[in-house]
Structures are given as structure tokens and as C-alpha cells.
Amino acid sequence: MFKQENSDQKQTFKKKPFKKKRKEREKREYEQKVIDIARVTRVVKGGKRFSFRTVVVIGNKRGKVGVGVSKGKDMKISTEKSYADAKKNMIELSFTGNTIPYETFQKLGSAKILLKPARKGNGIVAGGAVRTVVSLAGISDVSGKMLGSKSKLNNARATIKLLEQFAVKKIREKAEKKVEKKVGEKDVKEEVKKDIKK
């Protein structure tokens, strides 16, 4: 009798509990990094209302990058909102190689950013928000310096403003202006020649 009971007990222990299958997270189009999280307060008639403000940088490491800021009652809500905001304010860069073509300087408010091109294998020699923006943009060799404000949001926005010089739209606009100038110069020369002939 005892032997049968023991065998039954062994059989019951062998059974594994039912485990729920975890849902796989959807892979997002862009990589994201949270630069700054701050708890902010708003004073109203009844008292104070607390919320979170998050600054997020997103990019695909192939030339697309953006910065977003948003507030929410919960950290998860604020990060999702800031991700959507960053997606709206994205820029697309166009440059060959792993570095920027020339040295640039940008001032935005009290933030001052300096970026210099570097040799292959040098890596990103920059700190804070500049490093995250540059790395998510897909630039692997560059040296930078934050000369003004220590605000992460201002420095991130200044870096985006600086990188706009190498954006696809800006380059197209510059090329179109050059073409317009050349066409204008040709028209003027032709008119001058006609006047001389007369």
C-alpha cells in the first residue's frame, strides 16, 4: 500500500505548472534613448499636480535622428508621447563616410555646440546629449564640445540644429539657389550683349 502511495505522489510532482506565453514586444522603427527625466509640478487652486517630463532622442543610425519632449502623469505615458514628438521633428542627413564633412559651430539660446570631423577609428569624443544624438544619427567618428549651457534638452536641440546643415532638404535648397544664381547671371549677360549690339 505504501509503495503505491509513494508512486502516485511522484507522478503528481512531475507535472509542471501551466505557463502563459509572453507576448513578444514589437520592434520599433527607430532606436530610442531617454536623456532626461524630470518631475515637474503645476500649482492649481486645489494644490499641486505632479507630472513627469521626459526628453527622448530617436534615430535609425543611418542618417535619421530627432529629439522629442513631452509630459505625462506616468513615466511610460510621457516617454511614448515624447517618442511621437521626436518622430514628428526628425531630420535626414546626407553625408558619405562615418564623420561630418567639416568643422561646425552652433549656438541655440545659451547652448553652444562645437563639432569637428575625426579620422576613421577615432570614435565619438563627446559627452552627454551630444554623444547620444550623434551616435543615433549614425556618425561613428567625431569630436565635440559643449561650451555653454549644461541643460540636456538645450544641448540636444542645438546638436540637431547643427546637424541640419547636412540635412537632405538644406543641401537641395543650396543647390537650387546656386542654379538660380547662375541662370540669373546668364540672363543679365545676354541682356548686356543685346544692349551693346544696339
User: How large is the average pLDDT for residues 16-45?
Assistant: 78
| 167: confidence class by pLDDT, cuts 50, 70, 90 | confident
Per-residue pLDDT of 109-160, as tens digits, reads 899 999 999 998 899 999 889 999 999 999 999 999 999 889 999 999 999 9
Question: Could you give all domains of the chain from N- to C-terminal order, each with its CATH number?
Answer: 31-170 (3.30.230.10)
Sheet architecture: strand order including 31-44: 31-44, 47-59, 64-72, 90-92
Sheet architecture: strand order including 142-146: 104-108, 111-117, 142-146, 124-125
Per-residue pLDDT of 4-16, as tens digits, reads 555 555 455 555 5
pLDDT score at 19: 61
| 95: confidence class by pLDDT, cuts 50, 70, 90 | confident
pLDDT(27) > 90: no
